[in-house]
Amino acid sequence: MSRSSDYHALGGREAIRAHVTAFVQRFAQDFIIGYLFEGRDLERIIVHETAHACEHLGGSETYQGRPIAKVHRPLRINAGHFRRRLAIVRTVLAERGVAEPIIERWIAADARLQAAVVDGTDCAPPG
């Protein structure tokens, strides 16, 4: 299935926004990464996450926010936080009935952002 087909299979922008809203709300309530969202404008995060998702899923919308590294690096997000975010995205999309191949492509696109987002540390012990 092509990226464009993923976008259309999910029902377009508004359906993707509904998925994004569900996982951003889950992030904000999560006992591990929720603190990173305290005091943040969740609607703004949803807008930017939706644009990013639409872009990598094959829609015509493009991410217009600030550079991802510039926004995330000051937050001191470690690799464990990043993995937790991916796990929540995967769980929420599965709960919402998104087909597994689309989930895999969505996660792969998000995973490519790790170097721009994380601060180089990990929460797991070495070795």
The pLDDT of residue 41: 97
The pTM (predicted TM-score) of the whole model is 0.91
We report the CATH number of the domain holding residue 71 as: 1.10.490.10
**Is 126 a member of any domain?**
no
Please name the amino acid found at residue 123: C
What is the separation, in whole angstroms, between the first and last Cα of the chain? 38
Cα–Cα distance, 88 to 65 (Å, whole number) = 22
Domain extent, residue 26, equals 3-117
Let me know: does 76 contact 119? Beta carbons within 8 Å.
yes
* Tally of domains within the chain: 1
pLDDT of residue 123: 79
Instruction: Tell me what pLDDT residue 124 has.
Output: 67
In a domain? residue 46: yes
Domain assignment present for 124: no
pLDDT at residue 73 in the model = 84
Query: What pLDDT does 65 receive?
Result: 84
The Cα-based distances of 27 to 12, 18, 94 in angstroms read 23, 14, 15
Asked if residue 125 belongs to a domain, the reply is no
| Position 69 in a domain | yes
Q: What confidence tens digit (pLDDT) does each residue in 35-52 have?
A: 999 999 999 999 999 999
Q: Are 64 and 71 in contact (CB under 8 A)?
A: no
Residue 10, in any domain of the structure: yes
Q: Is residue 24 part of a domain?
A: yes
Please, are residues 24 and 42 in contact by the beta-carbon 8 Å criterion?
Answer: yes
Q: Which residues of the chain have pLDDT under 70?
A: 1-4, 124-127
